[in-house]
Structure 1
Amino acid sequence: MATIETRTTDTGEKSYRVKVRLKGYPVQSATFGRLTDAKKWAAATESAIREGRHFKTNEAKKHTFADAIDRYSADILPTRFNSIEQRNRRPMLEWWKAQIGHCVMADLTTATFAQARDSLAKSGRKGKPLSAATINKYFVVAKDILKRCVNEWHWLEQSPLRDGRVELPELPRGIVRFLDDGELSRLTAACKESPNDLLYPAFVLAISTGMRQSETMNLYWREPENPPTETAWGVVNLSEPCIILHATKNGDRRRVPLTSLALAELQKLAKVRRLDTVLVFPSPTHPHKPIELKKAWLNALQRAEVNNFRWHDLRHCTASYLAMGGASMVDIAAVLGHRTLDMVKRYAHLSDGHITNVVERMNTRLFGSV
């Protein structure tokens, strides 16, 4: 409850001292020259305390955005993200700290972040603007910090980035490049005929599983004593049979099934594996490092007459073939290791035939054959 004490100076001027006392909270007080102002403040403060808003506002005045970044770097980054994501986020955190770290949390507005967005867009190398994807990544980090400030630390009442209040550049529609039947046949043959014995099994594994290049090239026959900290890696389990990816780009642990030709190729490699390394695809000169397949890969592409195609596009092939085979977007996201469906929407048009069949089956069940 609130109490108001009237004070009179020697000159006869009156002031009103307000104290708000609520059980479990520290006493809040303020002095006003008018009784009406004192009553309004008392009512507003008491209401804000009961609703959990008052002390958040106080905390917002005590801390800067740099304080939030430091706490996030110390408490959140090492515990919630793997080493790959930590490495990716640290330069972004440093940029935010240099840009608006001096701002008191209470002073952060949508305008603050809109100006930061514009500065970020101009900070590319050689005078080129940063890509929309990169700008969005910076704001993903900022949103995560502000979310902690609101929900966990109670340094803010609301995030200035909530509900998309700062407009970010639209991400370009992803390009889907996959091999047609002729290209697939020619490139498969070229990889199989390559002087590099590891190109063909790596190619088959990549296109069969949809794994990223770093995930494919950093596979081990058993868990290494010193697993890599700066890249994705996994372990082959032929008895299951599957691959367990212990570290991935998005930080999730993932199980990848092994079937058909991919399984057969790994079984062949297991029989002739080198004893000086536990890597599945080791370098011939540095056994504890993955092999570099770039030269062999480019030669295979040239021999197969496949143009405008990268190793990463093998991942698009996997997703595209799954879509054309009737897999749902949820299935494709699970295979590729995406947390959301946004990244796999680019393959939706390839499953139109499957969707048509689903709708047709539903209508047949409801109304019978026409």
Structure 2
Amino acid sequence: MGSNISDQVVSLVEVGLAKTWEDATERWLFEKSDKASLHSDKCIIRWLCPYLNGLTLSQIDRGVIDDIVLKKLKSGVANSTVNRMLALLRAVLRRASSEWEWIKTAPRIRLLKEPVRRVRFLTLVEAQRLLSHLPEQIALMATFSLATGLRKSNVTGLQWSQIDMQRCVAWVHPDQSKTRKAIAVPLNLDAMRVLALCKGRHPVYPFASPGHMCVSISTSVWKRALADAGIEDFRWHDLRHTWASWHVQNGTPLNVLQELGGWESSEMVRRYAHFSAGHLVAYAERLPKVIE
């Protein structure tokens, strides 16, 4: 009996010595082919290739990982960018250990501390100013994002078949959602006006140009509009933050916002909690009056 266990351990170690980082990433990408952020995984793996290709999984230890972290930091990126790389590396090695049984244990990988960032959002006046400096097609997409809170990929990939103009609702299919769950998208007046302006432009995609199947947002055009509007440090994804912030500031409960935004975790919505204090006013008034 003891001999069999010993043989299994030896066999496990031998497999770990034989399997390389390339073997692990190939299997990872195959098993995660339906992952919403697969493109991001591929970019990170491509960056890691010069440092890990040719190494067996057993050779990827804390020393190797620490060297990679230093190289990444020296390139000038933020801790959050390093952490995305570390999170993927950790996930692959853990799976190689716990599920594939290619190595006995995976090295412990701790993420770097990240500064707590403020939620970046625009005021209504700033948003209107930005829209006025964008080309018409991109302005329509930005307005639709501000009206629905949809992520960029869900706006660019939206099809007419996903929209019911009669019921004022659109939907995101599970395979288009970051959480892999369908999302119902109620369309307010601004969203309906945008779609009305897009009618007849393209038979499939509301935001596609005539004769083009691909919907894209030019980074240079976006940056130029921000500069012309006098707006700094603002990404397209911050349109979603703006939408959420406006909702909370106007009284939308956090649990409703979570459903509207398709967030899987309530923690993702808590970042907007400080924008809403209306329900606390009555309690604040319970204190005795200092000034008569």
The answer to whether the 8 A contact 1:121-1:130 is kept is: no
Match of 1:211 among 130, 146, 150: 150
Compute the displacement of 1:146 (Å).
2.7
Mapped to 2, the partners of 1:339 and 1:262 lie a distance apart of 26
The answer to whether the 8 A contact 2:151-2:237 is kept is: yes
TM-score computed with the length of structure 1 as normaliser: 0.60
Match of 2:171 among 243, 247, 251: 243
Distance verdict in 2 for CA 1:85–1:152, change over 3 Å:
same
Q: Indicate the SS of the match to 1:154.
A: coil
Gaps of 5+ in 1: 1-19, 22-26, 29-48, 223-234, 364-370
Q: Indicate the SS of the match to 1:149.
A: helix
For the pair 1:348 / 2:291, whether they are aligned, the reply is no
Compute the displacement of 1:98 (Å).
3.9
The answer to whether the 8 A contact 1:217-1:291 is kept is: yes
Residue-by-residue CA offset, 1:240-286 (whole Å, 9 max, x unaligned): 5213245557462441413222442255146x3135x41211135x5
Gaps of 5+ in 2: 287-292
Q: Indicate the SS of the match to 2:272.
A: helix
Compute the displacement of 1:81 (Å).
3.7
For the pair 1:173 / 2:116, whether they are aligned, the reply is yes
Mapped to 2, the partners of 1:131 and 1:55 lie a distance apart of 46
C-alpha RMSD over aligned residues: 4.0
Compute the displacement of 1:216 (Å).
1.5
Residue 289 (structure 2) aligns with: none
Superposition pairs for residues 70-149 of structure 1, below 5 Å? 70-82=22-34, 85-93=37-45, 95=48, 98-99=51-52, 102-103=55-56, 105=58, 112-123=61-72, 128-149=75-96
Residue 240 (structure 2) aligns with: 315
Compute the displacement of 1:86 (Å).
2.9
Q: Indicate the SS of the match to 1:257.
A: strand
Mapped to 2, the partners of 1:300 and 1:149 lie a distance apart of 46
- Which structure has greater strand proportion? 1
Superposition pairs for residues 1-370 of structure 1, below 5 Å? 20=1, 27-28=3-4, 49=5, 57-64=9-16, 67=19, 69-82=21-34, 85-93=37-45, 95=48, 98-99=51-52, 102-103=55-56, 105=58, 112-123=61-72, 128-161=75-108, 166-184=109-127, 186=129, 190=132, 196-222=135-161, 235-238=162-165, 241-245=169-173, 247-248=175-176, 250=178, 252-269=180-197, 272-274=199-201, 277-284=203-210, 286-290=211-215, 292=217, 305-308=229-232, 309-327=234-252, 331-341=256-266, 343-354=268-279, 356=280, 360=283
Amino acid at match of 2:276: S
Mapped to 2, the partners of 1:293 and 1:279 lie a distance apart of 18
Q: Which has the larger radius of gyration?
A: 1
Residue-by-residue CA offset, 1:174-194 (whole Å, 9 max, x unaligned): 342222244345556x37xx7
Residue-by-residue CA offset, 1:203-250 (whole Å, 9 max, x unaligned): 33101221222322232223xxxxxxxxxxxx4343552132455574
Point out which structure has higher relative CO (alpha carbons under 8 A, 6+ apart).
Answer: 2
Quick one: percent identity of the two aligned structures? 21
Amino acid at match of 1:351: S
Q: Indicate the SS of the match to 1:122.
A: helix
Distance verdict in 2 for CA 1:99–1:68, change over 3 Å:
closer
Residue-by-residue CA offset, 1:139-178 (whole Å, 9 max, x unaligned): 22222223323332234454322xxxx3322123234222
Compute the displacement of 1:352 (Å).
4.1
